[in-house]
């Protein structure tokens, strides 16, 4: 299944800040002298752009050297194809950036560089493109910016990369932070209380800085002041709004330093500083940031589909392999907000199985695993079927597994072609009608426009001789819930 875009950049034409990328500003990369010449031409154009817009001394905008360094890296990643920034080139490049552990946390800078480069390529005539081609490239960058929700969201999503801290190291760090009461919950409450007293912009600034403090690899070489400026530009904050947030931002950060949550660290070869958390507190801090950001509504909805959207899927039995009679499949339509527990029940009914064996959902490409835990309808549900082991301890889930009731189908199936596996592992000798050891491939065929009159789930086609109306009738109980 393709990854969902995790990018973010300045909206409304604002350009987020830059920084020195892995390559130098003069690095030719793929394409050699031609790329070097393009970068030099871009550098002159960019300086004129800063002068004309009065942004030359705006701390939230990349310097000429910084943005050329980023472009040099992107030319290399694209294999030189970026000289013609067509939509398909940009899509491939952004996918590669997402897969690069060093680049994807810097997605705001990547998009900033690409947006300016696209403007340069069109204005200078270095890319001879039609209006439709230019619009398509613009759309790729706009979608990348909008889908991630901006620079702050990108930083918060990077909290997934913060390593867990061993209890032997985390415990003394928590005890040493007296203001947090010695617990992870206390740390989150302490931060939340501090942010409750400030403006939204000040709170978002602090959350962004806490992300960097929890994962110092983010935005390397950027001072606290520079990161704040980048965050301001990314949200399009005006001068008055920035001024109103300055005192509160400073007061909260000073409090965090005095209480021992953060500590200042000097940037090499510079008089500037940035804030970092003690290693023992970084895991707790990352969790607190995500929790607070989610409570404040700062994170995008995990399900990108609009309410009422239908997902037309084909569910095909791929293991055991098809017999001489051919593959066994069902064409089903689900509401995008159906949780995986509901999908499980629909599959059991549509294939006329007995729901007596363990089941799980798996995304093969990412190896994400979703299991059944908790209580549904007053009936104890084990990791597998509808009854059995008492699942009261969610902590007993295999590492990385999630509760299927907490995940919606639309989170995993976003675009046609996306796939999800359903595994139903019964005892081969149980006499369960051949349902043991079954694997079903669920493939998204079409995203349907929201329709309030459509009651789901439905079965609209199937293999075999059984009338579709009969199979669809088996799903009636799910439409009455």
Given a cut of 70, whether residue 366 has pLDDT beyond it is yes
- Whether residue 138 lies inside any domain: the answer is no
**Which of 349-353, 366-370, 427-431 shows the lowest per-residue confidence on average (mean pLDDT)?**
427-431
- Residue 8, domain member (yes or no): no
Contact (CB, 8 A) for 95 and 3: yes
**Of 17, 305, 247, 12, the residue nearest 154 (C-alpha):** 17
* 257 in the same domain as 160: yes
Q: Are residues 335 and 272 in the same domain?
A: no
Look up the domain containing 175 and give its range.
Answer: 156-296
236 shares its domain with 361: no
Last residue of a domain, one of 264, 296, 328: 296
For 437-452, the pLDDT digits (tens) are 899 999 999 999 999 8
Residues 193 and 251 in one domain: yes
List the single range of 20-24, 55-59, 158-162, 304-308 with lowest mean pLDDT. Answer: 20-24
How many domains is the chain partitioned into structurally? 3
In this predicted structure, what is the pLDDT of residue 343? 98
Within-domain flag for 12:
no
Considering the domain architecture, whether residues 373 and 421 belong to the same structural domain is answered as yes
- pLDDT above 50 (res 375): no
Compute φ and ψ for 275, nearest 5 degrees.
Answer: -100, 140
Asked if residue 18 belongs to a domain, the reply is: no
CATH number at residue 353: 3.10.290.30
Q: Is 90 in the same domain as 166?
A: no
211 and 239 part of one domain: yes
pLDDT, tens digit (0-9, with 9 covering 90-100), for 110-153:
888 999 999 999 999 999 999 999 999 998 888 777 654 578 98
d(CA 435, CA 348): 10
Please, what is the average pLDDT of the chain? 83
363 & 420 share domain? yes
Give the distance from CA 461 to its chain's centroid: 34
* 427 pLDDT more than 80: no
- Looking at mean pLDDT, say which of 70-84, 377-391, 416-430 comes out highest: 70-84
In this prediction, residue 387 carries a pLDDT of 34
The predicted model scores a pTM of 0.56
The encoded tokens of residue 248 equal 């509160």
How do residues 165-204 score in pLDDT, each as one tens digit?
A: 999 999 999 999 999 999 999 999 999 999 999 999 999 9
Structural domain includes residue 19: no
The enclosing domain of 219 has a CATH number of: 1.10.10.10
Could you tell me the pLDDT band of residue 336, with boundaries at 50, 70 and 90?
Answer: very high
Integer Cα distance of 424 and 445 in angstroms: 23
Residue 68: φ, ψ to 5°: -70, -35
Same domain (yes/no): 162, 87:
no
- Is residue 174 located within the same domain as residue 277? yes
234, 267, 296 — which closes off a domain?
A: 296
Buried b (16+ CB within 10 A) or exposed e, 245-284: beebbeebbeebeeebbbeeeeeeeeeeebbbbbebbbbb
Last residue of a domain, one of 248, 264, 296: 296
More confident call, 375 vs 295: 295
């Amino acid at each position: 299944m393709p990854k969902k875009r995790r990018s973010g950049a300045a909206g409304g034409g604002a350009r987020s800040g830059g920084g020195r990328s892995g390559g130098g500003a003069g690095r030719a990369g793929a394409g050699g002298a031609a790329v070097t010449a393009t970068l030099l031409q871009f550098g002159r154009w960019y300086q004129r752009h800063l002068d004309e817009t009065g942004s030359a001394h705006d701390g939230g905008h990349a310097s000429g050297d910084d943005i050329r360094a980023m472009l040099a890296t992107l030319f290399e990643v694209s294999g030189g194809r970026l000289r013609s920034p067509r939509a398909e080139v940009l899509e491939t490049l952004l996918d590669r950036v997402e897969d690069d552990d060093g680049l994807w946390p810097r997605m705001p800078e990547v998009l900033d560089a690409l947006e300016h480069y696209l403007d340069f390529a069109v204005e200078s005539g270095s890319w001879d493109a039609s209006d439709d081609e230019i619009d398509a490239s613009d759309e790729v960058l706009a979608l990348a910016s909008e889908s991630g929700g901006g620079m702050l969201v990108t930083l918060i999503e990077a909290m997934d990369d913060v390593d867990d801290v061993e209890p032997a190291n985390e415990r003394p760090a928590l005890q040493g932070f007296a203001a947090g009461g010695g617990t992870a919950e206390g740390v989150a409450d302490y931060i939340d209380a501090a942010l409750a007293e400030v403006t939204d912009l000040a709170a978002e600034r602090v959350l962004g800085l806490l992300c960097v403090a929890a994962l110092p690899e983010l935005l390397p070489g950027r001072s606290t002041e520079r990161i704040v400026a980048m965050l301001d530009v990314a949200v399009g904050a005006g001068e008055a709004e920035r001024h109103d947030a300055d005192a509160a931002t400073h007061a909260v950060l000073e409090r965090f330093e005095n209480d021992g949550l953060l500590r200042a660290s000097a940037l090499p070869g510079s008089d500037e500083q940035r804030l970092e958390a003690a290693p023992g507190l970084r895991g707790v801090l990352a969790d607190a940031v995500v929790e607070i950001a989610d409570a404040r509504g700062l994170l995008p909805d995990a399900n990108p589909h609009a309410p009422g959207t239908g997902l037309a899927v084909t569910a095909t039995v791929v293991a055991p392999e098809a017999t001489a009679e051919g593959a066994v499949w069902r064409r089903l339509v689900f509401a995008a907000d159906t949780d995986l527990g509901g999908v499980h029940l629909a599959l059991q009914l549509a294939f006329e199985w007995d729901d007596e064996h363990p089941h799980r959902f798996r995304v093969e490409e990412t190896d994400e695993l979703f299991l059944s835990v908790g209580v549904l309808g007053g009936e104890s549900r084990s990791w597998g079927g509808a009854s059995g082991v008492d699942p009261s301890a969610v902590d007993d889930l295999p590492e990385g597994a999630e509760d299927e009731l907490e995940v919606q189908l639309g989170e995993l199936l976003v675009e046609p072609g996306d796939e999800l596996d359903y595994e139903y592992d019964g005892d081969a000798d149980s006499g369960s009608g051949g349902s043991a050891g079954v694997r079903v491939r669920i493939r998204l065929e079409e995203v349907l426009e929201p329709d309030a009159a459509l009651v789901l789930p439905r079965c609209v086609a199937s293999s075999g001789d059984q009338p579709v109306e009969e199979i669809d009738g088996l799903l009636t109980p799910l439409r009455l819930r």
